[in-house]
Chain A
């Protein structure tokens, strides 16, 4: 699986957009980008994923560069409850019968300040 690079920490003001970058320069054509987050003392939570097009759901938007070597997770209006560690992961598209393990790195600690 391709490795990812994320800043160890970021700050954001409450109500502002939080933009979390991820570098995955060795990503291959069949690998998806996934984002999870982990609020303190809780289990990780899935946020969003994408292959090459930008994606949006009720939690966040995912912007993937045209060359797919980096992506940005956007929380449009960050709240104090968005303070968490955010993990960017890349993994190949599943094929029949293969395992489904995901490898988590150290992520980015996003602190939303009042």
Chain B
């Protein structure tokens, strides 16, 4: 059981180039998320998808687009990369643990380290 798989693990881009970060989960979760992590900033939510067919902006959506391709896959696209987008990107997914607990447990991928020159 792989959990949340992100590709690529590492990528170097030049300013203005475009690329897509891929994320897939095999846990049949409804909700998926993209975070970025910069030194001293904690994790910041870029976009999320509460369920298949829906996407919403998070805290820092500018410069990104997302696609919820199907229930398993949620991609993050940088149309014109900028040095400010140099970061580590994490994809996550979750499902409620149960009506009684109301828990909200996220499972994260291993991360994608992006450098924009």
Q: Which residues of A contact B (CB under 8 A)?
A: 32, 34, 36, 41-46, 49, 87, 91, 93-94, 97-107
Contacts and interface: CB of A to CB of B under 8 A. Distances in A.
Interface of B is mostly: strand
A46 B105 contact: yes
11 contacts: A34-B104, A36-B106, A43-B4, A49-B103, A87-B43, A98-B50, A99-B48, A100-B48, A101-B45, A104-B35, A106-B41
Contacts of A49: 103-105
Interface residues of B, number: 29
Interface of A is mostly: loop
A107 B109 contact: no
A44 B45 contact: no
A94 B104 contact: yes
A44 B56 contact: no
A106 B42 contact: yes
A99 B104 contact: no
